[in-house]
Amino acid sequence: MRDKVVIVTGASSGIGLACAEEFAARGAKVVLAARSIDALTALKTKLEAQGTQTLVVATDVSKEADCQNLVEQTVNTFGQIDILVNNAGLSMRAAFNDADLDVLRKLIDVNFWGTVYCTKYALPYILKTGGTVVGVSSIAGFKGLPGRTGYSASKFAMNGFLESLRIENLNKGINVLTVCPGFTASNIRNVALGKDGKAQGESPRDEQKMMQPEEVAKHMVKAILKRKKLIVLTIQGKLTVLLNKLFPAWVDKLTLKEMAKENNAPF
């Protein structure tokens, strides 16, 4: 990763922050993108104290112009793009029957369109360097989760987009990697949208029992170096994907039972 130029969206917390630190530790130049400029500035200060060249770009990935600006500022500063990590994401927690449609629109805008916008503008430069496009997806992109209709829809869409992109570019020297972490300790559940579009403010799950974002970041970097196409993390995640292919009806019931264990499950 020495002197590679890496863009990380959603770099202000969770998996994105951990990825930024992991790339920096391996010698990359890191571009930090998120809406929270204060959090990004604090991270920039920390990384630069360790000798990492960084760039902070305030970015709302649901806005095409912001994504274009992110890429342009990166190229103007560092001259190239080697890796794009589409990590920015938003979740929800509400039964579809109760949820405002704007909640689903917002998730699609951030999770799916954010990935499309950033990739669209970064791809010409990644083609030049033979680099990697990364999408941080989810097990919810393989198995629909009750109470997360918008989230699962956005991740299914992301998976299909990345797979098509990879096949289109099979002979062009780039790699497209889909990362599915499973449940990971992060802020995503605290800021998940409820049925009215307001952040729920607390996690319904035990975050201490989940994979830590630093571990996800290490797996991701190793997968990039090995030019892998897909990694599914956590034992629960791998079993879900495998068993859903073999016994989908049984996994439907198991998924409903498991998700119903959450505090104040909305279904």
d(CA 205, CA 261): 9
Residue 151 among the catalytic residues: yes
Single out the residue of 218, 208, 182 nearest to residue 21, CA to CA.
Answer: 218
Q: Which of 117, 121, 125, 151 is catalytic?
A: 151
Strand partners, 7: 31, 84
Single out the residue of 255, 106, 125 nearest to residue 192, CA to CA.
Answer: 106
d(CA 206, CA 3): 38
Helix (H) or strand (E) holding 129: helix 114-129
27: left (phi over 0), alpha (psi -120 to 50) or beta: left
Q: DSSP label at 184? A: B
Contacts (Cβ under 8 Å, ≥6 apart) of 252: none
Strand partners, 29: 5
d(CA 123, CA 166): 12
Task: Give the catalytic positions in this structure.
Answer: 151
